[in-house]
Amino acid sequence: MGPRALFILSQPLPRFRSPMLGCSPEMRVVEKNQLMSATEIDRTLQRLAHEIVEKSGGTANLALIGIRRRGVPLAQRIARAMHGIENVEVPVGTLDITLYRDDLSKIASQPVLHSSEIAFPMDDKDVLLVDDVLYTGRTARAAMNGLFDLGRPSRVRMVVLIDRGHRELPIEASFVGRSVQTSSREIVEVRLHETDKEERVMLVERVE
């Protein structure tokens, strides 16, 4: 009986914690497993950069627009990778979409464009919208609406690190780092050094 009791006590307890910024403050989540390490994130972004350059026929007229928060450092990293491939500086801009991010909350509020930081004309640009997670598609739609309010790009495509499914709108990414099957209770958390002081992608689950 003694050894059995010690065995039970030695099992790791679920790791409960508060969610990342953007979730409902009363929500708690438990970590389930790691989807990507720092090395895997870097390799994936390098691959995406090569795919974009190849399928775009180079970097001419390309522009990267990161959706704040984590889409911005991802766009900047992809731009650096493209520079290493083509030795060309691809411009990077930022869109800030509020109120709630699709990958972090199911609260029934429509995402809208809050602000933009784009220091170049959008007209006739081949635009790549960059985000960390593609979920329902509502954030992507708000971003595209915001882009066309700022100009008339020749083409708009999406680049995402993680596609977790559960689309509510007919929106798909042209370039996907990894597709992950998830339940409605699960959340994909992309953690980056620039925003979170750590580097990995985690699958967590909401708990009551």
Model confidence pLDDT, tens digit, residues 149-193: 999 999 999 999 999 999 999 999 999 999 999 998 999 999 999
Is 31 within a domain?
A: no
Is 74 within a domain?
A: yes
Q: What is the pTM of this model?
A: 0.82
pLDDT at 25: 53
Name residue 117's beta-bridge partners. 94
Q: By three-state DSSP, how is residue 71 classified?
A: helix
Is 186 within a domain?
A: yes
CB 147 within 8 A of CB 121: no
CATH number at residue 129: 3.40.50.2020
Is 123 within a domain?
A: yes
pLDDT for 208 beyond 80: no
Q: If you ran DSSP here, which 8-state letter would residue 137 be given?
A: S
Q: Which residue has the tokens 């990958």?
A: 103
| Beta strand 92-98 pairing with 62-68 | parallel
Is 28 within a domain?
A: no
Judged on CB neighbours under 10 Å (0-12, 13-18, 19+), 5 is: exposed
State how many domains the chain has. Answer: 1
Q: Which residue has the tokens 């909401």?
A: 206
The CA distance from 28 to 206, in Å, is 6
Is 22 within a domain?
A: no
Q: Which two tokens stand for residue 110?
A: 């429509």
Is 43 within a domain?
A: yes
Dump pLDDT digits (tens) for 8-54.
Answer: 344 454 555 555 554 555 568 899 999 999 999 999 999 999 999 99
CB 59 within 8 A of CB 91: no
Host domain of residue 170: 36-207
Is 149 within a domain?
A: yes
